[in-house]
């Protein structure tokens, strides 16, 4: 039972994919406020495909800012993240060019 708990904690940790074949192939991009966008874009450049899934029962629920100050802070982070992507080596204009992505997918 202790080993099962240890494995479960390992799976939910942020470094689960470190030094694995999956981590080398896909890998999560850390150190950005838009790491989810960058990681998804990188996965698509490597040939992965996405589908929109809308289950009858919600699989998980997120949280949203509850006041104007927090909402404006979130929007500012997203805007800065977009500029960060545009100025980074992962800029969709250049990064996905030879990855098989169509222009509108970039």
Domain boundaries defined on the chain: 2-54+65-86
The mean per-residue pLDDT over the stretch 9-38 comes to: 72
Contact 92, 85 (CB under 8 A): yes
Q: What is the pTM (predicted TM-score) of this model?
A: 0.61
**Contacts for 84-90: CB closer than 8 Å, 24+ residues apart:** 84/32, 84/33, 84/34, 85/32, 85/34, 85/37, 85/38, 88/32, 88/38, 90/29, 90/38, 90/41, 90/42
Contact 96, 52 (CB under 8 A): no
Looking at residue 60, its pLDDT comes to 72
- Helix pair angle (35-45, 68-86), 10° resolution: 40
What share of the chain in percent tops pLDDT 90? 11
- 55-103: per-residue pLDDT in tens? 888 777 777 888 999 999 999 988 998 898 889 888 888 876 766 677 7
The mean per-residue pLDDT over the stretch 29-41 comes to: 80
Contact 84, 33 (CB under 8 A): yes
Looking at residue 103, its pLDDT comes to 72
Confidence of residue 35 (pLDDT cuts 50, 70, 90): confident
């Amino acid at each position: 039972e202790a080993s099962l708990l240890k494995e479960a904690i390992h799976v939910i940790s942020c470094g689960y994919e470190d030094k694995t074949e999956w981590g080398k192939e896909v890998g999560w991009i850390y150190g950005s406020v838009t790491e989810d966008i960058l990681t998804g874009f990188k996965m698509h450049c490597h040939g992965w495909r996405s589908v929109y899934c809308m289950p009858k029962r919600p699989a998980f629920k997120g949280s949203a800012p509850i006041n104007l100050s927090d909402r404006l802070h979130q929007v500012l982070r997203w805007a800065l993240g977009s500029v960060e992507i545009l100025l980074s080596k992962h800029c969709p204009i250049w990064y996905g060019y030879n990855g098989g992505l169509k222009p509108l997918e970039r």
